[in-house]
Structure formats: C-alpha cells, structure tokens
Chains A and B, each alone.
Chain A
Amino acid sequence: EVQLLESGGGLVQPGGSLRLSCAASGFNFRREPMSWVRQAPGKGLEWVSVISGSGDSTYYADSVKGRFTISRDNSKNTLYFQMNTLRVEDTAIYYCAKEGTGRFLEWGQGTLVTVSS
C-alpha cells in the first residue's frame, strides 16, 4: 500500500522559511516523479512543483519559482520542499503526490502552512 506522510508545516511570519518533508513507502520511490500540490483555505488546487525520480530535473509554477526548492533523498524515501521568502498568499495545505504520466495517482494527507504576522 502506497503511503505518503507530510510533515513540517506550521506558522511562520512573512519573509520566513520552512522545510516540508514527505516520507514515502509502499512503492519504488526512486523510480517515480513526485509533485507538491497546494490548496489555500477554501480554495482550489494548485500544482506548484515536480521532481524527477533521480532528482536531476525540477520544475516549478511561476508563483513559487525562485523562492521554493524541491528535492529528494532516495536513500531515505523522502521528498522535501524548502520554502523561502514566504508570503501570506503561500498559506495553504501542501500535499505531496505520486505522479503518473499526466496524473497524480496518490496523495498524502497534507500539511498546513500558515504565513501570518
């Protein structure tokens, strides 16, 4: 059974930083691209970033490009999301998702990031 468990969310002031983690199990982690998708309170889903299975390739939505960094440690079956220069509008539940070609197959439970002074 595929399991994805996010952690690292919390309250942070504007301009601050936070690092999210997603512990994966139940599949061959190193072979699968992984994404982060976020959902602001009461709002829709927004894809924000993807990383290849090897970690060599990373891509970002314009809304986070230059501020957030996706990475992975395949020896630990863990996905990361370093978020810097956080803004109020980054407040959201952040989901890690196992990606299949053109779709998000499995989702974690999400971790809430709140950016507020």
Chain B
Amino acid sequence: QSALTQPRSVSGSPGQSVTISCTGTSSDVGAYTYVSWYQQDPGKVPKLMIYDVSKRPSGVPDRFSGSKSGNTASLTISGLQAEDEADFYCCSYAGSNSYVFGTGTKVTVV
C-alpha cells in the first residue's frame, strides 16, 4: 500500500481558511467512507480530528471540517488560529483490515 498523497505544507494568516488535500486510489479513499484526520503537534501524540470523512469527535472545534470527492479527501480549517500550527495526517481504510496514512502536511500560521 502506497501512502496517500498530501501537500508537504500549507500556510495561512490568522482568520483565514486553509484546505489540505489527501489523494488516494479507488482501493482506499475512493472505496470507503472511513477517512480520518489527525493533528500532531511537535513531539506529541496524534489526535483524532475528523472521522468517517466529515464527523468531528467531541471537543474538536467546528472550525475543522472534512469532505471527500472521488479518490480525494480534504480537511478544511476555517478561522485559522495560531494553535492550529501542527502536522496533519489523513488516514483511510484500505480493505482487508488494513489502513494507509497520508504523507503528512505541515500547517503554518503566518
């Protein structure tokens, strides 16, 4: 399984919106609604931000939203805040009880 493709970095000013893409194939992202997103602060543990493409766990701000079209999933952060600066990873179920993560995107608040 090849890693899902994400942009290496995205940036935005406070208050702006940024979108991170996550491109897979018809065998993973395109085949299932089990796409999740994780935020990882430097030296910290990944935190679930979005699951089932667009659902937010309790406690995750509604500034974070997810969507999917075909083989590409997206995470949008609206109203960007300084605390959102982190690495973000997408993940998709890939069938046969396996998962594949994305390459990771560094979000910078400029």
Contact = CB atoms under 8 A, between A and B. Distances in A.
Interface of A: 35, 37, 44-47, 50, 57, 59, 61-62, 95, 100-105, 107-110
A109 B3 CA distance: 23
Given A45-B101, A102-B51, A103-B36, 5 more contacts: A37-B101, A44-B3, A44-B89, A45-B89, A61-B98
A43 to B, nearest CB: 8
Contacts of B102: 44
B89 A102 contact: no
Interface of B: 1, 3, 32-36, 38, 40, 45-48, 51-52, 57, 89, 91, 93, 96-104
Contacts of A50: 97-99
A103 B26 CA distance: 19
A45 B45 contact: no
> Top 5 closest A-B pairs, CB basis?
A102-B34, A59-B97, A103-B51, A47-B99, A103-B36
Contact of A100 (B45, B51, B89, B91): B51
B52 A102 contact: yes
A107 B45 contact: yes
B104 A103 contact: no
A59 B96 contact: yes
Nearest to A43: B104
Nearest to B57: A105
19 contacts: A37-B46, A44-B3, A44-B104, A45-B38, A45-B91, A47-B91, A50-B97, A59-B96, A61-B98, A62-B1, A95-B45, A95-B46, A102-B33, A102-B51, A103-B34, A103-B36, A104-B36, A104-B46, A107-B46
A102 B46 contact: no
Contact of B46 (A35, A45, A61, A101): A45
Most buried by A among B34, B48, B102: B48
